[in-house]
């Protein structure tokens, strides 16, 4: 079993007509070797590794990475607002606020704990395994050597993010008396079930690509939390600094995984692109969709009856607003898939359109 794990790539390998100059991974998909959209003129020397070149954002990693330069932030400022209520609208619903400010504070504390736990689980289960495979030459893709080297740095970054998110949550729990853990342990993250569904929809020979796909999605989407919390002066300063540290590292990861997307799409055959492309919206939803099950659990814990819980959830996240918010957060990522040529496939484009992800200029 362990020998198989050590040698099996994420994406089933096959050879191709690659034109790149890098030494391919053992058995890797070479694709066109440029990471560029098929049929397009290659651009000289961009971040995505065209013509064998790769210019990532890690040249000054030793001086910029949080794990190298920013110590863990101690939580020292207990207050009454721990998460932007606009990003967790159940806390603003009249059926919740009628119970007093203590209910709102508790709900937002629970949402902060869920965010910190999600970060820890995402890094450990979805991102670190993929970048570890890339660093070991087991992604199934032909990548520049510099991308493999930078993958080691991302493994280090993400392990640090998981560690400090866990530790910060424990500090918040001790300071506020609201446990970081849920009574039932919380169960597996919702995204894991979504990834199982995506995997089951894929042809057997390319199963494993869902891991690469979700890592690309999660590392290139513009999270509202990463964007808003550092600027929200209502929140404890230590929390804002904690999230800002994470966001600065993720800016470099964003550039890196945009390059991975180009290499991945170039390596897939047209048939494989037609199978993978329609699953991208589901991967986006797996990352961005609110965790309604946990929100419902918290509302029940406040004593709301089942009918009221359903009302609060429906009115806090009306479908039209949820789709609009998701499209806004995914706008850059959708553009990246378009640049890679994914939206040229009719089934893929239909899937993006049905999910409400396409703007008029896409």
- 14, with CB counted inside 10 A (0-12, 13-18, 19+), is middle
pLDDT at 153 over 90: yes
Mean pLDDT, range 320-331, rounded to an integer: 92
Q: According to DSSP H, which parts of the chain are helical?
A: 2-7, 61-64, 66-69, 94-97, 101-122, 128-135, 145-176, 190-201, 209-220, 224-228, 237-267, 270-276, 280-288, 292-301, 306-316, 319-329, 331-340, 346-354
Calculate what percentage of the chain has a pLDDT beyond 70. 86
Mean pLDDT, range 213-217, rounded to an integer: 97
Q: How confident is the model at residue 27 (pLDDT cuts 50, 70, 90)?
A: low
pLDDT at 108 over 80: yes
Lowest mean pLDDT among 53-62, 146-155, 285-294: 53-62
**How many angstroms separate the Cα of 311 from the Cα of each of 27, 291, 295?**
53, 16, 12
Q: Provide the β-strand partners of residue 29.
A: 141
Q: In sequence order, what are the residues at sequence separation of 6 or more whose Cβ sits closer than 8 angstroms to the Cβ of residue 312?
A: 90, 93, 95, 96, 299, 304
Mean pLDDT, range 163-176, rounded to an integer: 96
- Output the pTM of the full model: 0.86
62 or 360: which carries more pLDDT confidence?
62
Q: Provide the β-strand partners of residue 141.
A: 29
pLDDT at 42 over 90: no
Calculate what percentage of the chain has a pLDDT beyond 90. 70
Q: Which pLDDT score, from 0 to 100, does residue 129 have?
A: 96
Q: What is the dihedral of CA 336, 337, 343, 344, to 10 degrees?
A: 80
Please tell me the distance from the alpha carbon of residue 133 to that of residue 264, in angstroms, as a whole number: 14
Lowest mean pLDDT among 32-46, 79-93, 231-245, 257-271: 32-46
Please tell me the distance from the alpha carbon of residue 264 to that of residue 7, in angstroms, as a whole number: 19
83 or 22: which carries more pLDDT confidence?
83
Q: Could you give the 3-state DSSP secondary structure of residue 141?
A: strand
Mean pLDDT, range 19-25, rounded to an integer: 45
Mean pLDDT, the chain, rounded, equals 86
Q: Which pLDDT score, from 0 to 100, does residue 48 have?
A: 35
Please tell me the distance from the alpha carbon of residue 16 to that of residue 18, in angstroms, as a whole number: 6
Q: In sequence order, what are the residues at sequence separation of 6 or more whose Cβ sits closer than 8 angstroms to the Cβ of residue 2?
A: none
């Amino acid at each position: 079993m362990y020998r198989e794990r050590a040698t099996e790539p994420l994406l089933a390998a096959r050879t191709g007509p690659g034109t790149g100059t890098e030494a391919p991974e053992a058995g890797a998909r070479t694709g066109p070797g440029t990471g560029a959209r098929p049929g397009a003129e290659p651009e000289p020397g961009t971040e995505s590794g065209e013509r064998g070149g790769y210019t990532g954002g890690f040249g000054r990693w030793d001086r910029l990475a949080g794990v190298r330069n920013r110590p863990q932030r101690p939580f020292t400022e207990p207050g009454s607002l721990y998460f932007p209520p606009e990003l967790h609208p159940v806390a603003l619903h009249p059926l919740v606020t009628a119970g007093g400010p203590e209910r709102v504070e508790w709900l937002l504390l629970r949402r902060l704990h869920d965010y910190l736990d999600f970060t820890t689980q995402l890094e450990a289960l979805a991102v670190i395994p993929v970048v570890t495979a890339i660093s070991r030459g087991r992604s199934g893709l032909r990548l520049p050597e510099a991308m493999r080297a930078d993958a080691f740095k991302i493994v280090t970054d993400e392990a640090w993010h998981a560690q400090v998110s866990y530790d910060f949550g424990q500090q918040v729990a001790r300071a506020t008396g609201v446990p970081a853990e849920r009574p039932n342990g919380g169960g597996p993250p919702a995204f894991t079930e979504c990834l199982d569904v995506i995997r089951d929809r894929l042809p057997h020979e390319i199963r494993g690509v869902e891991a690469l796909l979700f890592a690309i999605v999660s590392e290139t989407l513009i999270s509202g939390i990463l964007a808003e919390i550092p600027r929200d002066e209502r929140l404890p300063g230590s929390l804002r600094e904690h999230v800002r540290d994470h966001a600065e590292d993720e800016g470099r990861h964003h550039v890196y995984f945009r390059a991975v997307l180009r290499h991945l799409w170039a390596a897939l055959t047209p048939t494989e692109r037609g199978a993978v492309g329609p699953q991208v919206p589901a991967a986006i939803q797996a990352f961005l969709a609110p965790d309604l099950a946990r929100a419902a659990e918290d509302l029940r814990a406040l004593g709301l009856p089942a009918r009221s819980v359903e009302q609060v959830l429906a009115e806090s996240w009306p479908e039209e607003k949820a789709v609009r918010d998701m499209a806004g957060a995914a706008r850059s990522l959708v553009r990246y898939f378009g640049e890679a040529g994914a939206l040229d496939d009719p089934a893929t484009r239909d899937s993006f359109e049905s999910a409400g992800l396409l703007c008029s200029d896409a």
